[in-house]
Amino acid sequence: MLYDVTRTLTPCTAVFPGDTPVTITPTAQMRAGGSCNVTAITMSAHAGTHVDAPRHYSDDGAGIEAVPLDVLIGPARVISLGMAGAITTADLQRALRPARPATDAGYAPLPARLLIHTCASDIADDVWDAGFAWFTPEAADWLGVHGLRLIGTDAPSVDPANSKDLPAHKAFLRHGVIIVENLCLRDVPDDDYELIALPLKIADNDAGPARVVLRR
Ligand SMILES: [Zn+2]
């Protein structure tokens, strides 16, 4: 079974206030006498479902073309927090506990890829809502320390909408955790899946729009 957890790009796709909207412009049209249909697209690399490259928050960070494919494809767990506001370490521990019982070391190894399902999945593709769930830097650190390689969220960012210093982005970066944003996890049951999240291969770029799929 396949779940498409990608938001659909349209000229109405909601973007961060001030960011470049999506435009899709026909440059050749068969109904206008052209031999085929062709469009030109302009958009922010962070519009819709996308993968952030380390370059997004560090000039020295890798571009999206250099993010390893073995991070972007592999086992992943979906957990529902159904919340807005700060996601704390305690929230994550609570959500992960039933599936990963505590050991002497605290928690058993976490999944390498974790997708967080919040109320943002119920927000339409064309609606901007700044009240999404974000991670405290401590929560991001806790995930990184426990070996996470990829974090996915249905929210537009892992930091609050008005954050300028992006502490959760930077905490994930410190641990080499790749961030996927603007997923749509509506109708996806909490479970373990195979994640396939492939961003466009754009040289030295800060992000790449991606088609993201979960396979059971
Ligand atoms: Zn982004």
Q: How far is CA 7 from CA 22, 28, 150, 192, 203, in A?
A: 13, 26, 19, 21, 23
56 as an active site residue: the answer is yes
pLDDT confidence band for 101 (50 / 70 / 90): low
pLDDT confidence band for 97 (50 / 70 / 90): confident
> Running DSSP on this structure, what letter comes out for residue 54?
G
Ligand 1 centroid, distance to 50 Cα (angstroms): 6
Check which CATH number belongs to the domain holding 59 and give it: 3.50.30.50
Summary mean pLDDT of the chain:
94
Ligand 1 centroid, distance to 110 Cα (angstroms): 24
Q: How many CB atoms lie within 10 A of CB 198?
A: 15
Ligand 1 centroid, distance to 108 Cα (angstroms): 30
Q: Give, rounded to a whole angstrom, the gap between the first and last alpha carbons of the chain.
A: 5
Please, what is the angle between helix 89-96 and helix 137-145, to 10°? 50
39 Cβ neighbours under 8 A, 6+ residues apart: 24, 25, 26, 27
Residue range of the domain that includes 163:
2-215
Integer Cα distance of 152 and 157 in angstroms: 10
Tens of pLDDT, residue by residue over 102-114, are 555 555 578 999 9
Mean pLDDT of 124-134: 96
Q: What is the pTM of this model?
A: 0.94
| Structure tokens that stand for 71 in this block | 């991070």
Mean pLDDT of 40-48: 98
Structural domains of the chain, count: 1
- Catalytic residue, candidates 56, 117, 146, 169: 56
